[in-house]
Amino acid sequence: ATNGKGTVSSSPSAASYAAGTVVTLTATPASGSAWTGWSGACSGTATTCTLTMNANYSVTANFR
């Protein structure tokens, strides 16, 4: 999910993932917006987050 103006891409990109798949999320703020950080299963202010898919995760990318 996103909060504010920006986008999140995932690599690899898929509708669902097999258990053990490593997924990297990358947040990109829209023009004029600032990146403030992740919440949920990701944390911190790096624009990337890496998750190993072994559960259903909820992640929010926060922009202002």
Q: So what's the pLDDT on residue 39?
A: 98
Mean pLDDT of the chain: 97
Please compute the mean of the pLDDT values over residues 30-46 and round it to a whole number: 98
Kindly list the strands in the beta sheet with 48-52, ordered across the sheet, starting from the edge strand earlier in the chain. 6-11, 22-29, 48-52
Query: Residue 50 contacts by C-beta under 8 Å, 6 or more apart in sequence?
Result: 22, 23, 24, 25
Q: What is the mean pLDDT of residues 25-54?
A: 98
Mean pLDDT of 25-53: 98
The predicted-structure confidence for 5-26, as pLDDT tens digits, reads as follows 999 999 999 999 999 999 999 9
